[in-house]
């Protein structure tokens, strides 16, 4: 069995060559602190009933942060529903991202302006879209790269296969990052695949594939940067499997005690991506108490921003239901909009 | 005198002209490249415009439609071919969950100017999965435009209109008419999507048809004329948006209506049309609106399909039942 590529172990010790520069790791650590705080804040909002649902990436923040950090501004990110932290790390206001999960609309940011595709719940269906964006970029002679995220469960879907096959055949500039967090809601990895690893699937597509420690930000940064550079050169897609773990439940509606043991979760806690990078940066002296305090303050500001935004009443217009279905509403939709408007007037008067 | 073009040639010319007019139009799918499509609708496009503009893909319909979504997100106008009606079903999730919904999902910030071409319907002696009338699935999905031509001029014009449209269009090609030869204007009109047309004026009753049943309805009207009944024929051209105005006006003028469609009738487009006409024309109707559709059976084997497809006799029988004695 291939071991995941790793540069920093659980104790913070360097165990491989080619470590990113200290300032890169320090930036990454800061982003990890923010991502963790965002996850915690969103989960708190769910408990308070101010957010309908939140699929936390707690424990997977290194994947979230690295996926965003290796991209240029012109590149695209195709996230899943669990990747709020990645979208925020890309620079999108978390309040715009959470529009979906607070139930105001299906997507709260501009995908073209932010170069982040909408989050949706079907698995793997975003992957062919990512290939299409990449293929169009190539046809237009642009060197744009697309980072497409999915989880271990999604690798069983037909669209995963179709997207990777298409990307390989057309040498599309796409990096497929599979966050293997070991569970698809309750179903363990062993029920998704009998392959030695998910990265092993790359061979079937004729695509280079790398298995990387998904809780090691340094290793992720190196592996994903290389994959992005390869795609940008026109050398085609890469499959990256990040070995990580979903520490928290699937969502607040889930009960993990029905399908996994506390012991298993406890075994993963020491492998936390923040702990190990903190240990490493503290040992090298790069992370000073002063910097740590600055990062914590930034994280608290982010959390306060989210709390404040969530505290505000959403201004929703029921007429918007009809506004975007077509570029010009059909006569039938105009009739239905008038019906709803009349109902609302009646309620008010 | 040159031979009149087939509907295939009219569609091919529309693709040619659209690609020549706009560099962002790209055509892809299965066998659409050097072969020119199994029906030759894409004949010559790769040779003329190069393999970046018209290309074969892996055999993966969900991937084809999903990739088209991404390309449309990134500034292209993809026109994809689903080789047969039933071969579009692997792409159903992409069509229903993303093609139809992305514009709404993003509050109109991302529109998908893409066309999904689907040769549909039976009457060609084809096998079970080459003959489906799949329009109800698409028409039931908000966010899709659903268009089907019945003449070569409309095949050209509606395909051009579909490619130019900012919204995604499911373009249903009645493969039974693929080889029909008809005059095509040198500069065919490009009709707006969403407008039906009265193909034949009639005083006594109105036949409402679309795609492959339009010629059948016209033949029925010819036959009825010899028997002293004057039937009008409406060709919908566009199922979504639905042209209530034209249909309602036609039915009100006659007071009798029969909807003719090839698809199984239960929960069908024909059912929706009958309901709409009844709601809007109730006080003008001399008889209940009738439907002549395919039976509610899986598509029959070739030797039995003639029993399934709405034909002239079945249409005229339905006309006979429109309470003429009580008039």
Q: Does B145 touch chain A (CB under 8 A)?
A: yes
Q: What is the 3-state secondary structure (H, E, C) of B82-150?
A: CCCHHHHHHHHHHHHHHHCCHHHHCCCCCCCCCEEEEEECCCCCCCHHHCCCCHHHHHCCCCCEEECCC
For domain B197-320, give the fold: Rossmann fold (3.40.50)
Structural domain B7-177, CATH architecture: 3-Layer(aba) Sandwich (3.40)
Query: Per residue in B75-133, pLDDT tens?
Result: 999 999 999 999 999 999 999 999 999 999 999 999 999 999 999 999 999 999 999 99
Q: Which of B74, B77, B273 to mutate to test the interface with A (most CBs of A within 10 A)?
A: B74
Predicted local distance difference test score (pLDDT) of residue B3: 85
Mean pLDDT value across residues A99-107: 95
At A2, the pLDDT band (50, 70, 90 cuts) reads: confident
- Catalytic residue, chosen from B16, B98, B129, B130, is B130
Length of chain A: 349
Q: Does A140 touch chain B (CB under 8 A)?
A: yes
CB under 8 Å to B285, separation ≥6 — which residues? B251, B255, B256, B257, B278
Query: In 3D, which of B142, B100, B135 has the Cα closest to residue B268?
Result: B135
b/e string for A233-259 if b means 16 or more Cβ within 10 A? Answer: eeebbbbbbbbbbbbbbbbeebebeee
Q: Do A133 and B73 count as a contact with CB atoms less than 8 A apart?
A: yes
Predicted local distance difference test score (pLDDT) of residue A349: 75
Q: Which of A135, A332, A333, A335 to mutate to test the interface with B (most CBs of B within 10 A)?
A: A135
Tally A–B CB contacts below 8 A.
142
Query: Per residue in B228-245, pLDDT tens?
Result: 999 999 999 999 999 999
- Of all residues in chain B, what percent carry a pLDDT higher than 90? 96
CB under 8 Å to A98, separation ≥6 — which residues? A42, A51, A84, A108, A306, A309, A310
Query: Per residue in A282-318, pLDDT tens?
Result: 999 999 999 999 999 999 999 999 999 998 888 899 9
Distance from A64 to chain B by nearest Cα, in Å?
A: 22
Residue A169 φ then ψ, to 5°: -60, -40
Residue given tokens 């969103």 in the structure block: A42
Q: Do B63 and A128 count as a contact with CB atoms less than 8 A apart?
A: yes
For chain A, what are the domain ranges?
22-315, 317-349
Neighbours of A312 (CB within 10 A): 8
At B63, the pLDDT band (50, 70, 90 cuts) reads: very high
Predicted local distance difference test score (pLDDT) of residue A1: 59
Q: Enumerate the CATH 3.40.50.920 domain ranges in chain B, comma separated.
A: 197-320
Q: Which of A106, A173, A324 to mutate to test the interface with B (most CBs of B within 10 A)?
A: A324
Q: Enumerate the CATH 3.40.50.970 domain ranges in chain B, comma separated.
A: 7-177
> What element of type H or E holds B26?
strand B25-29
Q: Is the dihedral of CA A160, A163, A169, A173 positive or negative?
A: negative
Predicted local distance difference test score (pLDDT) of residue B82: 98
Q: Does A125 touch chain B (CB under 8 A)?
A: yes
Residue given tokens 């059948």 in the structure block: B216
Q: Do A332 and B242 count as a contact with CB atoms less than 8 A apart?
A: yes
Q: Does B49 touch chain A (CB under 8 A)?
A: no
Q: Is the dihedral of CA A200, A202, A207, A210 positive or negative?
A: negative
β-bridge partners, A209: A239
Query: In 3D, which of A127, A82, A32, A123 has the Cα closest to residue A248?
Result: A82
Q: Is the dihedral of CA B303, B307, B309, B312 positive or negative?
A: positive
Helix (H, G, I), strand (E, B) or coil at B315: helix
Query: Per residue in A131-166, pLDDT tens?
Result: 999 999 999 999 999 999 999 999 999 999 999 999
Q: In what order do the strands lie in the sheet with B231-235?
A: B197-200, B231-235, B205-209, B257-264, B290-294
Candidate CATH numbers 3.30.930.10, 3.40.50.970, 3.40.50.720, 3.30.428.10; the one for domain A22-315: 3.40.50.970
Distance from A139 to chain B by nearest Cα, in Å?
A: 7
Instruction: Confirm whether B16 is a catalytic residue.
Output: no
> What pTM does this model have?
0.97
Predicted local distance difference test score (pLDDT) of residue A311: 86
Q: Do A120 and B97 count as a contact with CB atoms less than 8 A apart?
A: yes
> Rounded to whole angstroms, how far apart are CA atoms B270 and B291?
7
Q: How far is CA B138 from the centre of its chain?
A: 11
> Rounded to whole angstroms, how far apart are CA atoms A153 and A82?
13
CB B172 within 8 A of CB B146: yes
Q: Is the dihedral of CA B215, B221, B225, B230 positive or negative?
A: negative
Query: Per residue in B270-285, pLDDT tens?
Result: 999 999 999 999 999 9
At A86, the pLDDT band (50, 70, 90 cuts) reads: very high
* A 216-245 → B contacts, CB under 8 A: none
Nearest to B66 among A113, A159, A325 (CB): A159
Mean pLDDT value across residues B33-38: 97
Q: Does A314 touch chain B (CB under 8 A)?
A: no
Instruction: Confirm whether A250 is a catalytic residue.
Output: yes
Distance from B251 to chain A by nearest Cα, in Å?
A: 19
């Amino acid at each position: 069995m291939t071991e995941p590529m790793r540069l920093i172990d659980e104790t913070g010790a360097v165990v491989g060559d080619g470590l990113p520069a200290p300032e890169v790791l320090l930036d990454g650590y800061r982003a990890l602190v923010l991502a963790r705080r965002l996850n915690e804040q969103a989960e708190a909002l769910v408990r308070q009933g101010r957010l309908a649902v939140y699929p936390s990436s707690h424990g997977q923040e290194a994947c979230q942060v690295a996926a965003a950090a290796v991209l240029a501004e012109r590149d695209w990110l195709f996230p899943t529903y669990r990747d709020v932290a990645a979208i925020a790390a890309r620079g999108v206001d978390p309040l715009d991202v959470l529009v979906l999960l607070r139930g105001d609309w299906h997507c709260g940011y501009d995908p073209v302006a932010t170069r982040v595709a909408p989050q949706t719940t079907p698995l793997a269906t975003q992957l062919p879209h990512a290939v299409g964006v990449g293929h169009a970029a190539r046809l237009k002679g642009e060197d744009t790269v697309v980072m497409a995220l999915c989880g271990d469960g999604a690798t069983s879907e037909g669209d995963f296969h179709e997207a990777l096959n298409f990307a390989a055949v057309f040498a599309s500039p796409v990096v497929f990052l599979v966050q293997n967090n070991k569970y698809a809601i309750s179903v363990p990895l062993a029920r998704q695949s009998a392959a030695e690893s998910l990265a092993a699937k790359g061979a079937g597509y004729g695509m280079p594939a790398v298995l990387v420690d998904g809780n090691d930000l340094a290793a992720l940064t190196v592996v994903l940067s290389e994959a992005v550079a390869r795609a940008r050169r026109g050398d085609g897609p890469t499959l990256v499997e990040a070995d990580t773990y979903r520490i928290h439940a699937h969502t607040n509606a889930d009960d993990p005690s029905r399908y996994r043991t506390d012991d298993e979760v406890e075994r993963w806690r020491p492998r936390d991506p923040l702990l190990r990078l903190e240990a490493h940066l503290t040992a090298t002296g790069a992370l000073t108490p002063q910097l740590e305090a600055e990062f914590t303050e930034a994280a608290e500001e982010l959390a306060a921003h989210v709390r404040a935004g969530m505290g505000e009443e959403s201004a929703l217009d029921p007429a918007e239901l009809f506004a975007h279905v077509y570029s010009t509403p059909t006569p039938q939709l105009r009739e239905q909009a008038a019906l709803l408007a009349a109902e609302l007037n009646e309620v008010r008067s | 005198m040159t031979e009149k073009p087939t509907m295939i040639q009219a569609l091919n010319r529309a693709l040619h002209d659209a690609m020549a007019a706009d560099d962002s139009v790209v055509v892809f799918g299965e066998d659409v490249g050097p072969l020119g499509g199994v029906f030759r609708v894409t004949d010559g496009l790769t040779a003329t415009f190069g393999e970046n503009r018209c290309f074969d893909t892996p055999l993966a319909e969900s991937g084809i439609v999903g990739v088209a979504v991404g390309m449309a997100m990134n500034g292209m106008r993809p026109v994809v071919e689903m080789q047969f009606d039933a071969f579009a079903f692997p792409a159903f999730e992409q069509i229903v969950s993303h093609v139809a919904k992305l514009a709404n999902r993003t509050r109109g910030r991302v529109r998908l100017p893409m066309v999904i071409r689907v040769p549909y319907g039976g009457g060609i002696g084809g096998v079970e999965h080459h003959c489906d009338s799949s329009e109800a699935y698409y028409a039931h999905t908000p966010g899709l435009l659903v268009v089907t031509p019945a003449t070569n001029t409309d095949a050209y014009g509606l395909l051009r209109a579909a490619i130019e449209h900012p919204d995604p269009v499911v373009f249903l090609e009645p493969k039974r008419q693929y080889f029909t030869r008809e005059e095509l204007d040198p500069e065919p009109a490009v009709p707006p999507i969403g407008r039906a047309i009265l193909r034949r004026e009639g005083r006594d009753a109105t036949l409402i048809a679309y795609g492959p049943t339009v010629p059948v309805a016209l033949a029925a009207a010819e036959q009825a004329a010899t028997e002293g009944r004057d039937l009008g024929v409406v060709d919908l051209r566009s199922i979504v948006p639905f042209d209530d105005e034209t249909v309602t006006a036609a039915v009100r003028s006659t007071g009798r209506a029969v909807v003719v469609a090839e698809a199984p009738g239960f929960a069908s487009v024909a059912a929706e049309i009958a309901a709409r006409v009844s709601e809007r024309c109730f006080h003008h109707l001399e008889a209940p609106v009738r439907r002549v559709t395919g039976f509610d059976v899986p598509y029959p084997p070739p030797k039995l399909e003639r029993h399934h497809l709405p034909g002239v006799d079945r249409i005229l029988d339905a006309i006979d039942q429109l309470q003429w004695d009580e008039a």
